[in-house]
Amino acid sequence: MTGTDTPGSASASRAGTDTARVTRLDDLPVRDELRGQSPYGAPQLDVPVRLNTNENPYPLPEPLVERIAERVREVARDLNRYPDRDAVELRAALAEYLVRTGPADAPELGVAQVWAANGSNEVIQQLLQVFGGPGRTALGFEPSYSMHSLIARGTGTAWICGPRSADFTIDPDAAVRAIAEHRPDVVFVTTPNNPTGNAVPMETVLAIHDAAQRAKPSMVIVDEAYIEFSHGASLLPLLAGRPHLVLSRTMSKAFGAAGLRLGYLAADPAVVDAVQLVRLPYHLSSVTQATALAALEHTDTLLKYVERLKDERDRLVAELRTIGYEVTESDANFVQFGRFDGPGGAHAAWRSILDRGVLVRDNGVPGWLRVSTGTPEENDAFLDAVRDLKKEQEQGG
């Protein structure tokens, strides 16, 4: 046994002690830019009404569920084989959807201009892996979708917070100045913006894009996760002649398929070639591709639910203003409302609404909360809760 460590030896004892000492995240050799960060995620609480994650509240229609089962059954016979690595059939179907539902002046799109991944977050991650990374920077106009900055840091890309006006719009002149000053490698524009809900005018996006080309040139990523809910149209027409512009989309919101995790982009073919340099092999499973293809067969039905939600969204805006709240103009399937400047601020208001059985989102925007558009019954429950809250605040004041 000489020269061999046994469970009772001093060497094994020291190893056990060293292992036991690593009990916290801070004890691990985590990259410096990740220290002190928190994982992204909204509270998952068991309450009667959950309106905090911008989900589509309507379950998938039964004919679509049956079609998904059929398509998955078909691919299940070949699960011993890898999926189509390039998801050609799916990308072609996504391109057809974009053209069919987009503005009349949108460019023709095909497989070469569309890429798909596991949620729009993976799309953004792949873009930052290609165009960001150590020694490079990304700029976004905050408050906005916090995953942009989190994924930037996760890819070693330095994050720059760009300016946004007090009414949560982007001032084109201020944006152009920020781009000229910082010369970022990647610029994010979210329209409609999350969490505020307001859309960014095409003219502002064009000003940002042109400034980014003068500065570097830089990639400009327009996040259109909520575009189907907008009063306006997609910015697809801007892609023509602009190889540094990318539109990011998702099937989580309008398609009511948050559990599917399918995102996609439209861009110049060279961008699609670029992201394939960093995509993991066979990153989209056969089951994911089959499910997404089934959903695309039912877009007309699914978009009718979008129209219902737009009507309910507009009702929420009107009712909240009638009650006495400030509301940011919304082109999304959610509404930002406030202001909560009293004791405890927005978080105290969030807790009060939660105590009434309704979960909304505290995004950390001082004085404001965000509510997802639910079914009429869910929205009624929410409106009852905030009416009670308003009475409480008025009596307390």
Q: For residue range 60-105, what is the model confidence (pLDDT) as tens digits?
A: 999 999 999 999 999 999 999 999 999 999 999 999 999 999 999 9
CA distances from residue 237 to 177, 199, 202, 241, 358 in whole angstroms, order as listed: 25, 16, 10, 10, 40
7 pLDDT more than 50: no
Spatial distance between the Cα atoms of 335 and 363, rounded to a whole number of angstroms:
12
Q: What is the pLDDT of residue 20?
A: 53
Q: For residue range 34-59, what is the model confidence (pLDDT) as tens digits?
A: 888 777 777 788 899 999 999 999 99
Please report which confidence band the pLDDT of residue 355 belongs to, taking 50, 70 and 90 as the band edges: very high
What the chain holds in terms of domains, given with CATH numbers, is: 49-56+301-396 (3.90.1150.10), 62-297 (3.40.640.10)
Decide if 352 contacts 342 (C-beta within 8 A): no
SS3 390: helix
Of all helices (H) and strands (E), which one includes residue 335? strand 334-338
262 pLDDT more than 90: yes
pTM above 0.85, yes or no: yes
Q: What is the pLDDT of residue 142?
A: 97
SS3 392: helix
334 pLDDT more than 80: yes
DSSP 177-229: HHHHHH--SEEEEESS-TTT-PPPPHHHHHHHHHHHHHHS--EEEEE-TTGGG
Average pLDDT over residues 343-348: 91
More confident of the two residues 256 and 7: 256
366 pLDDT more than 50: yes
